[in-house]
Amino acid sequence: MSQAALILILTVGGGSGALCRYLLGLAVMKKFPTPRIPIAMIIVNIIGSFGLGILYGNVYTETLYNDALFVFLGLGFFGAFTTFSTFSVEAVQLIMDNKYQHALIYLSLSIFGSIIGFLLGYFIS
């Protein structure tokens, strides 16, 4: 597959992932409008890590970055669906607001939840 085709596949996957992250975030925020911790990003990152674990467990090869499915879903969709930058902003905001306990809960749930989500996805695949 050509490099141009992989870039197009990556772009479509990334756009789809970003849109799904946004829509899921809106749905979670509608259900929980004033959470103590940023629950929407925790949910997004755990679901995304779980999905990536399933994908990785099913398509792992030495040439992942040339595999169209992995480029679309792994790098594109799940890369844009999950968000380390928003996680960082929300963690820092909790700390700046002196909500240290909430920050610790948010950091712990986000990091360990995402790793556990990935491992669960990987092992069930």
The answer to whether 15 is a known ligand-binding residue is no
CA distances to 9, 35, 90, 92, 105 from 96, in Å: 39, 17, 10, 6, 15
CB 59 within 8 A of CB 69: yes
The answer to whether 82 is a known ligand-binding residue is yes
CB 125 within 8 A of CB 58: yes
Measure CA of the first residue to CA of the last residue in the chain; give whole Å: 26
The helix-helix angle for 3-31 and 39-59 (nearest 10°) equals 140
Q: Which residues are annotated as a binding site for Na(+)?
A: 79, 82
Residues contributing to the annotated binding site:
79, 82
